Amino acid sequence: MANESRNDVVLIKLDRERELRYGHKALKKLLAMTGKDIENVDLENLNLVELEKYLYCGLLSDAKANNEELRLEDMEDLLDRAPSFGHIIEKMTEAFNMAMGSFGQTEGNQQKPE
């Protein structure tokens, strides 16, 4: 991995172990691709096309660090390499929670970043 000492990434098993991270650049691209505001991010109600976009944006820094060109069109095949669909959802949720706390969850009175 590009920087194994980072504590703001989640490792996801796909074709290889990849770093999944939602930093500023990834979130900015994600919001542009989905047309959503940060307040409207809802991880519990994604369709499969949206899921591919969310993971694509979170994987871009890993691809760049490994001199790979990752395209949105590649996501379908890449996600098919995961051990399970549950693994994908678990890791994506974990990465979002690392980036923003419990943001994107619909339970209770959780605080959203300002």
pLDDT at 89: 95
**pLDDT tens-digit profile of 45-99?**
899 999 999 999 999 999 999 999 999 999 999 999 999 999 999 999 999 999 8
Record the tokens describing residue 10, joined without a space.
């989640």
Instruction: Name which of 40, 15, 17 is nearest 27 in CA terms.
Output: 40
Q: What is the DSSP letter of 68?
A: -
- At 59, which helix (H) or strand (E)? helix 48-65
pTM: 0.81
- Give the burial string for 10-20 (b: 16+ CB within 10 Å, else e): bebebeeebbb
> Where are the domains positioned within the chain?
11-100
In three-state form (DSSP H/G/I as H, E/B as E, the rest C), the secondary structure along 12-58 is EECCCEEEECCCHHHHHHHHHHHCCCHHHCCHHHCCHHHHHHHHHHH
Does residue 114 register a pLDDT over 60?
no
Q: Can you tell me the distance from the alpha carbon of 100 to that of 8, in angstroms, rounded to the nearest whole number? A: 10
